[in-house]
Amino acid sequence: MRKLAEQVYEVGVQHWDRRLFDELIPLPDGTSYNAYLVKGSEKTALLDTVDPEKTGELVDHLVRAGAEKIDYLISHHAEQDHSGSLPDILLMYPDAKVVTNPKCKGMLMDHLAIEEDRFETVEDGQTLSLGDKTLQFLYTPWVHWPETMCTWLAEDRILFSCDFFGSHQASSSLYVENEAMVYEAAKRYFAEIMMPFRSAIRGHMKKLAPLEIEQIAPSHGPVYGNPGLILDAYRDWISDAVKHEAVVAYVSMHHSTKKMIEYFVDALTERGVKVHLFNLIETDLGKLAISLVDAATVILGSPTFLVGPHPDAAYAALLVNALRPKTRFAGVIGSCGWAGKMPEQLTGLLGNLKVELFEPVIAKGLPSEQDFTELDKLAEKILAKHKEAGIVSV
């Protein structure tokens, strides 16, 4: 049981050895499912629960915290890593009500078969008194499902933000200790989960601006005793500004594409463009996602597999398209044995991006001198576009 303020405790669970989320997202440092117990002078509330795999540990923590009675189970988000224990906790506290918004109520009924009479719904901005403590519910949809909301505990100036501002990191420390490490984990989390919803987040940041927040308590990762760390980071990540950087993600079967990529990376580097290079055979998708947060340009490299892109390059394109980074420019480099439709199939997978596409550079077989000249021209064009867009000073 870890204390944030008088009668406010973190009672969730660290999942130290979880290595994958959604069977997709790498978790190099595990994760946590934070749940918070707020004991008012009259009522007690539990804010979120944990992944169903860890229900037993949550129950142990509640017993140790002396939570003999819980009146309200606040559900910020229906995803099972926070809601999955609700059915068991409702059995444990038969008089408790699930307090959430109408959309989340519907999703909890769909996903967890919770009976309708166990709910009390709240509107945006509505308050709930626990006696000497007051919870205020703030709708913050799309961080990262449409029903998500936060809770503001006014008396203690704590914002309970659920996924919003979170980081996948298991830790024995309640609060952020190593700011650089948490910044990296939070950026990885933002890139993988929040990046497509930048415009919604801009609205949420405005909504939160009047609050004098002393602590941000997310449902993954450590609590921010210095909220400026994560608020400033989010302001940067959701801005329209991109950096003088290029993400180059490639796969190569017989080294033609690899030779081109290596030459191209040198060409960009000589022109002062910072490069994030990923060989897709061995890439940590989280690192690729992080690099997409800031980069002005994305280049995909692929050989022609049968008549289309290599499946690993197509997978990367699908991922980039789903994450919807603020990238301004994109292109394809690669090779073919005889012919094919690799470049157009690959760029066809990037339909969500608002990018200007460069002409692809494709070698037939081994790259020729002419192909290397085209790569120099592409690097020069990227530099020129970055200058033209004011991304780098002329």
Q: Report the side by side order of strands in the sheet with 215-218.
A: 127-129, 134-139, 149-153, 158-162, 215-218
Q: Enter the DSSP assignment of 63.
A: H
**Among residues 135 and 162, whose Cβ is nearest to ligand FEO?**
162
Least separation in angstroms between residue 223's CB and ligand FEO is 15
Residues 178-237 that bind ligand FEO (CB under 6 A): 219-220
272 in helix, strand or coil? coil
Question: Which is nearest to 99 in space by CA: 91, 88, 108?
Answer: 108
96-102-106 Cα angle (round to 5): 85
**Among residues 77 and 244, whose Cβ is nearest to ligand FEO?**
77
**Among residues 46 and 273, whose Cβ is nearest to ligand FEO?**
46
* Total residues binding ligand FEO (CB under 6 A): 8
**Among residues 83 and 256, whose Cβ is nearest to ligand FEO?**
83
Q: Taking CB under 6 A as the rule, does residue 77 contact ligand FEO? A: yes
365-348-367 Cα angle (round to 5): 15
Among 15, 18, 39, 82, binds ligand FEO (CB under 6 A): 82
Q: Enter the DSSP assignment of 53.
A: G
What is the C-alpha to C-alpha distance for residues 145 and 153, in angstroms, rounded to an integer? 22
- Residue 82's Cβ-count burial label (10 Å; 0-12, 13-18, 19+) is buried
Among 29, 48, 163, 245, binds ligand FEO (CB under 6 A): 163
319 in helix, strand or coil? helix
Least separation in angstroms between residue 166's CB and ligand FEO is 7
CA 226, distance to chain mean position in Å, is: 20
**Among residues 81 and 184, whose Cβ is nearest to ligand FEO?**
81
**Among residues 139 and 358, whose Cβ is nearest to ligand FEO?**
139
What is the C-alpha to C-alpha distance for residues 390 and 384, in angstroms, rounded to an integer? 10
**Among residues 219 and 252, whose Cβ is nearest to ligand FEO?**
219
Residues 107-146 that bind ligand FEO (CB under 6 A): 144
CA 361, distance to chain mean position in Å, is: 32
Least separation in angstroms between residue 316's CB and ligand FEO is 23
Q: Taking CB under 6 A as the rule, does residue 326 contact ligand FEO? A: no
Q: Taking CB under 6 A as the rule, does residue 81 contact ligand FEO? A: yes
Position of minimal CB gap to ligand FEO: 79
* Choices 36-44, 77-85, 318-326, 333-341 (CB under 6 A): range interacting with ligand FEO: 77-85
What is the C-alpha to C-alpha distance for residues 52 and 57, in angstroms, rounded to an integer? 10
List interacting residues with ligand FEO (CB under 6 A): 77, 79, 81-82, 144, 163, 219-220
